[in-house]
Structure 1
Amino acid sequence: MKIGDFAKKYGLNITTVRYYVERALLTPERKNNQYVFTPSCMEDMEKILKYKSFRFSLEEIELLFFLEKTTKFRDETVLGIFSRLLKQKQAELEKEEEKIHDTIGELKAEIRSFSQINYELDHSANGIPFTFLPYLACPDCGRPLKLESASISDNKICDGEFLCECGYKNELKDGVILCDGYAEDTPFKAFENIDLVSAVTEELGNEFRTLIDKTYMWMYHQMTDHVDMEGSINIMGGPFSGNYFSRYCQKFSRDAIFIINDPSLKRIRKLQEYMKEFDCQTVYLAGDLNRLPLRENSIDVYLDDFSSNNCIFTYNKSQYDKITPLIRKTGCAVGLFADYRKCPKSLRTFQEDQPDFIPEKMTFAHVKADLLEGGMEIDDQKQIGSTTGKEKQFQRQVGNETIGLMGYRAIK
């Protein structure tokens, strides 16, 4: 039997089989400079798998093989040694079983304590802070917006209508400003899961999640180097953002205002649930970027938490032609960018849900060009790392293609 067939028979890869041969656990014949695996190899392989199931290490299995193959169990002393090794392993496993039993008991107690937690929904009102009103402006003429029919609760504006002399108007409903282009569902069909926490848990692999966490930390440090974290600052994110705000919002000043944009009203409502637990000052803008009612030069920091990638997937361009006019002269953009250059096949699979998507647009060079056109330049960037391709790390991954993550900061 050839090495490929042998590996397939036992659910192994060829590299593992070669490793067993190198360690003389398997002793195949050689024919025409190729390994040929005989029935005795199969017997040995089944023993290796059996001993591994007994939790023996390879070094221990080598010793067991040496004892068996050297004497064929016809020596009383060897039989005693072999029996002692098996009993030692049994004792180890029994001790481990006791620890596992104790741990299971602790887990059961932890589960009981969680089941006794009375999770209560926060029924406090959703609304925008009064201090943000000066930053709202007509997207058509730039005039300040007038608030009418306002409903106020917990020192927040919950409902109302914003009007401009030129005729522009939008509605504030349950703490969400409804802008042009909002809809219940997201236009980014490749990522429809509105529950961002479960999406990351269920749809991303451990390597990719770790890279995201590392990049988030790098982004946070870039912000602390550039802005006064104790001051009153406006921090904007979106559209199609990840979990940065819910992870890091408590590290900012209580005077900070978070402005979150997304075209999907469902997603906005889910974000409201997350952010409410942190009692932050938050403004939600449901709608696309084309006519956001924000004053120019009103944002201190823009956070790109996968927004550039996801805007390119959806619109074949980044968000920065609409975002850069909103950033103050001394403001910055801090973000991450998923590098798909080493996974072209995976990248093309996004066209299944986004048929108009142009894969060639998915480069950081396009993002840099959009920033430059908006009067911003890259001040710092770092390649945080890449996945190994050993396991599936994201939904659209094809084969063992790898994806990288980089962080960047741009200043105005």
Structure 2
Amino acid sequence: MKIGQFAKDFNVSIDTVRHYIDKGLLIPEKINTQYQMNTICLEDMALINELKLYRFSLKEIHKILSLKRLTNNGNNEDMSYFRNLLVEKKKQLIEEKDQILRAIHSLDAKINTETNENIEQDNKKKGVPLLFVPVLSCPYCQSGLSLQNASILVNQIFEGNLYCSCGYQTEIKDGILFTNNLQSSPFKYSIYEIDVEKWNPSFVSLIEKSKLWMYNELTQHQMENKMVLETNIEILMMLPKYLSSLSKNTSYIFTCYSLETIKTLKQSIEKLHPDLSVLYIVNSDLHLPLAHHSIDFFIDSLSLTQYSLIYKESPIQILTKYLKDNSYIIGNAVFYEANSKSLKRIQTIYPTPNPKALQLNLLEEELHEHHLTNLIKEIVGFTKNPGSYFSYHDENEKMNLLAYKAAYSTAK
């Protein structure tokens, strides 16, 4: 019998039959290049299917077939051996069944716990803490914003409209601040929708190393009663992972254009760190409704890198006016060597990139031009394969990852 008919008779694929042949479970004759499935193959295949029904592994089945082949008969000793195997397999399956039932009960308990926690969390949702009201200002004329139609409960603003006499408007919905003129990035992406295949795990590990470097630099400073801003969190975020080890009296501001990212982060922080003072802003242009000179630390989690791909204006140029004197920027950025193919691809792929996007001198020039002294910078490492998300990357080139800290001062 040919292998095709054999597979059809036993309702398996030809590839399965070939796999069994390769493993020595089936031993057919071979005439020229064609396998001929003989009577013994029929008997062995019937036994294989029966044992698979009893949930024997192929390795176990091979042992049983080996005994059958060695003894070449079906005497009482063979039958006793086979019966003992069946008894042992039954015990094993009962044990597995008990383990599965215990796992199911544990899952039910976990699901019920999570459901109850989510209900409790929904009842404890937080709004914009009132302590942020003094720093809410028009991003254009810097006048204080008037709050109208507000829903306030226990020092939290859940709903409300904010107005400036110059015409600027913004609103608070579900405890989240929405700026006007929202514009989604033409290259939509959210860290919560990450496709691991598009980010090389080794590059993610490199980024994690840079975030640890940033955290260590941040903790060199006194954080009590400070205000920390992290932007661009739809791509990458550093602070949330380390909130438990930072000061409880620090105020945090997170901003990005993705409402889903903001909502997910808000839910997570409220569950894990319910006592923290946090302001969540949905914004796309970084012109934030905050008072100038109100931020002590700006966390740049690849903000300069990503922003420079889309806009000619840099985030450092926009955000320095929000920084206090003697404040800090702590961040990371990727860059290529001059004249690399990847840099040229950026200028062709993106419609309006910064001419110096992903060049090291862009960061250095921005820091210098906007009164930032580069105290520390360290190349954390490089990769030649960051992942397919980075469509502009040439696989023969190094993408370097830099971590840095710079001090902001208006004194010359």
TM-score (norm 2): 0.66
Q: Structure 2: which 5+ runs fail to align?
A: 1-21, 24-58, 64-91
Structure 1 Cα separation of the partners of residues 140 and 356 of structure 2: 33
Map of 2:161 onto structure 1: 161
**Superposition deviation, residue 236 in structure 1:** 0.3
Structure 2 Cα separation of the partners of residues 213 and 290 of structure 1: 25
Q: Mean Cα displacement is larger for which, 130-139 or 282-291?
A: 282-291
Structure 2 Cα separation of the partners of residues 110 and 232 of structure 1: 46
Map of 1:70 onto structure 2: none
Map of 2:67 onto structure 1: none
Task: Tell me, yes or no, if the aligned pair for 1:241 and 1:304 is still in contact at 8 Å.
Answer: no
Map of 1:276 onto structure 2: 270
Residue 141 of structure 2 corresponds to residue 147 of structure 1: no
**Superposition deviation, residue 241 in structure 1:** 4.6
RMSD: 3.5
Residue 348 of structure 2 corresponds to residue 356 of structure 1: no
**Superposition deviation, residue 128 in structure 1:** 1.1
Distance change (3 Å), C-alpha of 1:270 and 1:364: farther
**Superposition deviation, residue 204 in structure 1:** 1.4
Task: Tell me, yes or no, if the aligned pair for 2:125 and 2:270 is still in contact at 8 Å.
Answer: no
Map of 2:227 onto structure 1: 234
Q: Which has the larger radius of gyration?
A: 2
Residue 113 of structure 2 corresponds to residue 117 of structure 1: no
1:73-222 → structure 2 map (5 Å cutoff)? 113=106, 116-118=109-111, 119-120=114-115, 121=118, 122-123=121-122, 124-183=124-183, 186-189=184-187, 192-194=188-190, 196-199=191-194, 201-222=196-217
Q: Mean Cα displacement is larger for which, 132-141 or 120-129?
A: 120-129
Amino acid of the residue matched to residue 215 of structure 1?
Answer: S
Structure 2 Cα separation of the partners of residues 403 and 308 of structure 1: 15
Structure 1 Cα separation of the partners of residues 215 and 289 of structure 2: 27
Amino acid of the residue matched to residue 253 of structure 2?
Answer: I
**1:277 aligned counterpart, secondary structure:** helix
**Superposition deviation, residue 288 in structure 1:** 3.2
Task: Tell me, yes or no, if the aligned pair for 2:211 and 2:238 is still in contact at 8 Å.
Answer: yes
Task: Tell me, yes or no, if the aligned pair for 2:338 and 2:359 is still in contact at 8 Å.
Answer: no
**Superposition deviation, residue 220 in structure 1:** 0.7
Amino acid of the residue matched to residue 318 of structure 1?
Answer: S
Map of 2:46 onto structure 1: none
Q: Which runs of 4+ in 1 moved over 6 A?
A: 107-112
Aligned length in residues: 309
Structure 2 Cα separation of the partners of residues 327 and 110 of structure 1: 52
Q: Structure 1: which 5+ runs fail to align?
A: 1-52, 55-89, 95-100
**Superposition deviation, residue 343 in structure 1:** 10
Task: Tell me, yes or no, if the aligned pair for 1:336 and 1:408 is still in contact at 8 Å.
Answer: yes
**2:319 aligned counterpart, secondary structure:** helix
**2:170 aligned counterpart, secondary structure:** strand
Amino acid of the residue matched to residue 203 of structure 2?
Answer: F
Map of 1:381 onto structure 2: 377
**Superposition deviation, residue 315 in structure 1:** 0.6
Amino acid of the residue matched to residue 238 of structure 1?
Answer: T
Distance change (3 Å), C-alpha of 1:291 and 1:383: closer
Task: Tell me, yes or no, if the aligned pair for 1:348 and 1:359 is still in contact at 8 Å.
Answer: no
**2:331 aligned counterpart, secondary structure:** strand
Amino acid of the residue matched to residue 160 of structure 2?
Answer: G
Deviation string, structure 1 residues 266-292 (Cα, Å, up to 9, x no partner): 433333233333333221222234642
Task: Tell me, yes or no, if the aligned pair for 1:335 and 1:409 is still in contact at 8 Å.
Answer: yes
Deviation string, structure 1 residues 50-81 (Cα, Å, up to 9, x no partner): xxx99xxxxxxxxxxxxxxxxxxxxxxxxxxx
Deviation string, structure 1 residues 33-54 (Cα, Å, up to 9, x no partner): xxxxxxxxxxxxxxxxxxxx99
Map of 1:246 onto structure 2: 240
Task: Tell me, yes or no, if the aligned pair for 1:382 and 1:408 is still in contact at 8 Å.
Answer: yes
Structure 2 Cα separation of the partners of residues 346 and 370 of structure 1: 21
Structure 1 Cα separation of the partners of residues 400 and 235 of structure 2: 18
Structure 2 Cα separation of the partners of residues 242 and 162 of structure 1: 29
**Superposition deviation, residue 363 in structure 1:** 1.4
Task: Tell me, yes or no, if the aligned pair for 1:318 and 1:367 is still in contact at 8 Å.
Answer: no
**1:362 aligned counterpart, secondary structure:** coil
Task: Tell me, yes or no, if the aligned pair for 1:197 and 1:243 is still in contact at 8 Å.
Answer: no
Structure 1 Cα separation of the partners of residues 107 and 238 of structure 2: 26
Structure 1 Cα separation of the partners of residues 125 and 343 of structure 2: 42
**Superposition deviation, residue 339 in structure 1:** 2.1
Residue 301 of structure 2 corresponds to residue 305 of structure 1: yes
Residue 309 of structure 2 corresponds to residue 330 of structure 1: no
**Superposition deviation, residue 393 in structure 1:** 7.1
Q: Of 383, 403, 407, which residue of structure 1 is paired with 2:403?
A: 407
Structure 1 Cα separation of the partners of residues 363 and 371 of structure 2: 13
**Superposition deviation, residue 116 in structure 1:** 4.3
